[in-house]
Amino acid sequence: MRVNGTRVVKPATQVGAGDVLTFAQGDRIRVIRVTALAIRRGPAPEAQTLFDDLTPPATDDTPGAARSGPRPTKKDRRAFDAFRDQDDAAG
């Protein structure tokens, strides 16, 4: 995680309005600017009004975007591994 471009190692780093946060979320890098701080802990829609998302939109060349369809089952993975092992033995 980075705050205003500086790497942060302590989990208790303070942030304020105007700070830019850069962090990994899944397989993406998110960049957000804090616009205000909340007075109380509230719901997600309220929290979303307190920052601007500066992350560029995802493109088709993003890792993970190439997969299509549902996640393979354990049976599917075993069948694929068996097919791959046959191919390796033949070639």
pTM: 0.61
Q: Is there a domain that residue 67 lies in? A: no
CATH of the domain at 2: 3.10.290.10
Strand partners, 66: none
Q: Is there a domain that residue 73 lies in? A: no
Q: Are 47 and 27 in contact (CB under 8 A)?
A: no
Q: For residue 39, what are the domain limits?
A: 1-57
Q: Is there a domain that residue 28 lies in? A: yes
Q: Is there a domain that residue 46 lies in? A: yes
Half-sphere exposure of 63 (CA within 13 A, CB side): 4
User: Which pLDDT value is given to residue 65?
Assistant: 55
User: Which pLDDT value is given to residue 83?
Assistant: 81
Q: Is there a domain that residue 45 lies in? A: yes
Domains identified in the chain, total number: 1
Q: Is there a domain that residue 82 lies in? A: no
The pLDDT tens digits along the chain (91 residues) read 999 999 998 889 999 999 999 999 888 899 999 999 999 999 999 999 999 999 988 776 655 556 677 888 999 889 888 887 776 676 6
User: Which pLDDT value is given to residue 34?
Assistant: 96
